[in-house]
Amino acid sequence: MKISLKEAFLQENVGGVDLYVRALIGSIATIALAMDLVETYPWNWITALIALVGLFTAMTRHCTPYSFIRYSTVRK
C-alpha cells in the first residue's frame, strides 16, 4: 500500500464541518494568545502550535495524517 508524494502532501482532504472546526479552533487559540489569556510556559507554546496547525490545515485544506490513513472529509 504505497502513497504517492502528491497524495501525501498536496491532495485536499479536509472539507465540510471539519474545515470550519479547524478554522474556529485555530482562531480561538490565536485570540487567546493575543489577549494574553495563556501565560504559563508550556501552555502558551502548546496553544500557539494548536493555532498554527488549525489555521494552516484549514487554509490549505490538507491534513497529512489523514493522507496516511486514507481518510477524507471532502465531498466528491
pLDDT: is 66 or 5 the higher one?
A: 66
For residue 44, the model assigns a pLDDT of 95
Contact 73, 16 (CB under 8 A): yes
Residue 1 has pLDDT above 80, yes or no: no
Confidence of residue 33 (pLDDT cuts 50, 70, 90): very high
The grid cell for 25 is: 479552533
Query: Does residue 2 carry a pLDDT above 90?
Result: no
Residue with cell 474545515: 19
What's CA 40's distance to the chain center, in Å?
Answer: 23
What is the rounded average pLDDT of the residues 12-27? 96
Q: How far apart are CA 67 and CA 14, in angstroms?
A: 10
15 close to 74: Cβ distance less than 8 angstroms: yes
